[in-house]
Amino acid sequence: MSLKNKLRLLITGGSSYLGQHLTPQATAVYDTLYTYFQHDPLNSGQRERLDLRDETAVLRLITDFRPDVIIHTAGSNRGADMAAVIRLGTRHITQAAQQVNARLIHLSSDVVFRGDAPPYAETAVPSPINAYGRAKTDAEAIVQSYPHHVIIRTSLIYGLDVMDHGTAWMAQALRAGQPVTLFTNQIRNPVWVETLSQACLELVDHPFTGVLHVAGRQVMSRADFGLRLLDYWDIRERDTLFMGPTGAGEWPLNCELDLRLATAVLRTPLPGVDEVLAGFPLR
């Protein structure tokens, strides 16, 4: 199939951890353009710098490229502009998607839930308890105003070829002798970045619309998850590593996702952390 006959795919946030894994896989199949904001670790293929807060720039890029599908991974979970990037960025992407009638696949988070009534199915009403969760909840509502959408709620993303940001932070702090606390009372469904990338690409031309929970089927504490990855990456400095509960109200405690719908809809398997690690030798 020639490039001009390929489905056109736009990925926002190609520089994100998910984007760095998703974009090369997408480029092998689709006519793919990705965006970045500050840094571009991929530095290859069709790419454009884009500030999602700039409505005019977003509309111009999308009406010029005219994607058939947009996978919206870009966002922020820190900094003064977090809410603006998430809310305004999603609004601008959604409005532009409507202009070109593109299918919109939007990445959301399990922290839209309070964490006191797991497991959470797709029909559960979001009830966030922190600023990040509230921003992601508002973004979901924006996307849901456009019928041709999929909202993927997912969990902690990790990989085994490139260290994820959370593990990299832990490794750097431990090697510097700084304290790191792994929370024993936060429960999540960590997801392998290859699983999430494959699910996103499967949904590109899938008839499914609506909300879908895509994560690993193994439910575990942040502490157990963190220890698994420190072991895998052979981070032996543990003198300043502590285990304990998180403070009340800072983050939801148990965000276990009900994966029955995703299991029925997708061909992509949803392995848990131990199942994924079993296929890879320790570093």
Q: What does the pLDDT look like over 14-64, one tens digit per residue? A: 989 999 999 999 999 999 999 998 887 777 789 999 999 999 999 999 999
CA distance 75 to 107: 9
70 has a pLDDT exceeding 90: yes
- Does residue 111 sit within a domain? yes
- Does residue 136 sit within a domain? yes
- Does residue 224 sit within a domain? no
**What single string gives the DSSP state of each residue in 150-200?**
EEEEE--EE-SSS--HHHHHHHHHHHTT--EEEESS-EE--EEHHHHHHHH
- Residue-level pLDDT at 247: 73
Distance from the first to the final alpha carbon of the chain: 40
- Does residue 283 sit within a domain? no
271 has a pLDDT exceeding 70: yes
* Residue-range definition of the domain harbouring residue 139: 3-159+191-216+256-271
- Does residue 164 sit within a domain? no
Q: Which one-letter amino acid corresponds to residue 195?
A: T
- Residue-level pLDDT at 185: 93
78 has a pLDDT exceeding 70: no
How many structural domains comprise the chain? 1
- Does residue 236 sit within a domain? no
- Does residue 185 sit within a domain? no
- Residue-level pLDDT at 79: 64
pLDDT range class, residue 246, cuts 50, 70, 90 = confident
Say which CATH number the domain at 7 has: 3.40.50.720
- Residue-level pLDDT at 62: 97
Q: b/e string for 133-169 if b means 16 or more Cβ within 10 A?
A: bbbbbbbbebbeebeebbbbbbbbbbbbeebbebbee
| Eight-state DSSP code of residue 177 | T
2 has a pLDDT exceeding 50: no
pLDDT range class, residue 80, cuts 50, 70, 90 = low
Phi, psi of 83 (to 5 degrees): -65, -40
